[in-house]
Chains A and B, each alone.
Chain A
Amino acid sequence: MSGKPKLHYFNGRGRMESIRWLLAAAGVEFEECFLETKDDLTKLQKDGSLMFQQVPMVEIDGIKMVQSRAIGNYIAAKYNLYGKDLKERALIDMYVEAIIDLNELLMMNTFQPEDKKQQHFANLVDKATNRYFPVYEKVLKDHGQDFLVGNQLSRADVQLLETLLMAEECKPDILAKFPLLQSFKARISNIPTIKKFLQPGSQRKPPLQEKDVARVMKIFH
């Protein structure tokens, strides 16, 4: 049934945040239904609302969509954030998949046990600054355009901005060696829908605090 998309997840970033970013960038208003206890998750599972018993789940256009990549693909295509043809789509997919890999490292940072924290953080910074960021810096340098693919805003730009900001939360000067990513960050942040999403009071979620980790683990385990 038509109406705003409805997001089902816990009240935090996790695997739903990229979807919030995409919808916000596309100017699509959405509602959220937060899971606060394990019972909330169990209820959704028992309702048959979750194809594989997992969240994220987004009710959109009459479908209860699951699997964050599938949801992201659908929203990107629907709102013209997926390039103009198969080859642009291929580039966007490659860039987004790598961003997802880096996001995983960033997300997992908060969940590391004490004895693994330092090593994980070091690996994260190494991968971000040696494997991932140089690629995007080079892409922007090579074509000299404002956006990563096809000279128009795509999902790749939105997800890259999300990740750049998350990486800076881990290490504020992490973009020191990447001037083009710095100007990319400023430029994309100024796009009206994105600028709005970055302001206090939006549906963007804050980073997970250490004190909330136990509570979140309880919902899912």
Chain B
Amino acid sequence: MAGKPKLHYSNGRGKMESIRWLLATAGVEFEEQFIEKKEDLEKLRNDGYLLFQQVPMVEIDGMKMVQARAIGSYIAAKYNLYGKDLKERAWIDMYVEGTTDLMGMIMLLPFQPADTKEKNLALIIERATTRYFPVYEKALKDHGQDYLVGNKLSWADIHLLEAILMAEECKPDILSAFPLLQAFKGRTSNIPTIKKFLQPGSQRKPPIDEKGVAMVKKIYDI
């Protein structure tokens, strides 16, 4: 049934944030139903809404889609953010998997024991600056184009911007050795739909705070 996509998740970034970015960039308005306590999640489960008893879940085009990557792939393909052929798609997938791994590390940080935080943060910064960012810097350098794949905005670019901003929250000067990524960040942030998403009042979520960590732990039994 036509209508706005409806996102089911807790009121925070987590595994839903990349989906919010995709929809926002594609200029697609969406609704959100927030899980605030365990009972909300239980209700979704009991109602049979969650194929594998988990969120994220997005109601879209008559489906109750689950699994963040499946949802992301569907949205990217539907809104022409997935390249023009199989090979472009392959590059986009590889790039997105890389930024997924990096953002995955950053997202875990608030949930790790206090005495490991410093070590984990150091590892994130090391990985970001020696494993991940050099790849994207080189990709931009090699073809000299504005976008990572196929000279056109794709999921890979949106995901990279999200990862860059998240990494800068960890270390503000983390892009200092990556001039092309800095330019990429400036350029991509200026795309009208993305610019709008980056402004206060949008559905973009802030980084999680202590209260949020406690709530997430309670809802999901971590």
Of A61, A63, A70, A132, the residue contacting B97 (CB under 8 A) is A70
For B48-61 the 0/1 string (1 means CB < 8 A from A) is 00011100000001
- In whole angstroms, how far apart are the Cα atoms of A66 and B65 in the complex? 26
Chain B residues close to A by CB (< 8 Å): 51-53, 61, 63, 65-67, 69-70, 73-74, 77-78, 86-87, 89-91, 93-94, 96-98, 101, 131-132, 135
CB contact under 8 A between A52 and B89, given known A70-B94, A87-B63: no
Majority DSSP secondary structure for residues of A touching B: helix
Q: How many residues of A contact B (CB 8 A)?
A: 27
- Within the assembled complex, what's the spacing in Å between the Cα atoms of A51 and B96? 12
Q: Are B65 and A90 in contact (CB under 8 A)?
A: yes
Known: A70-B93, A73-B93. 18 other contacts (CB 8 A): A52-B101, A52-B132, A52-B135, A63-B87, A63-B91, A66-B94, A67-B94, A70-B96, A74-B86, A74-B89, A74-B90, A77-B89, A86-B74, A87-B63, A89-B74, A90-B74, A93-B67, A97-B70
> What CA separation (Å) do A69 and B69 show in the bound complex?
10
A78 interfacial by beta-carbon distance below 8 Å: yes
- Chain A, 52-67, contact with B by CB distance < 8 Å: what is the 0/1 string? 1100000001010111
Residue among A73, A78, A94 with the highest chain B CB neighbour number at 10 A? A94
Residues in B neighbouring A70, C-beta threshold 8 A? 90, 93-94, 96-97
Instruction: Name the residue of chain A whose CB is nearest to the CB of B85.
Output: A77
The 0/1 profile, CB within 8 Å of B marked 1, for residues 72-95 of chain A is 011001100000001101100110
A-B contact pairs, 23 of them (CB 8 A): A51-B98, A53-B131, A63-B90, A67-B97, A67-B98, A69-B97, A70-B96, A73-B90, A77-B86, A77-B89, A87-B63, A89-B73, A90-B65, A90-B70, A90-B73, A93-B67, A93-B73, A94-B66, A94-B70, A96-B70, A131-B52, A131-B53, A135-B51
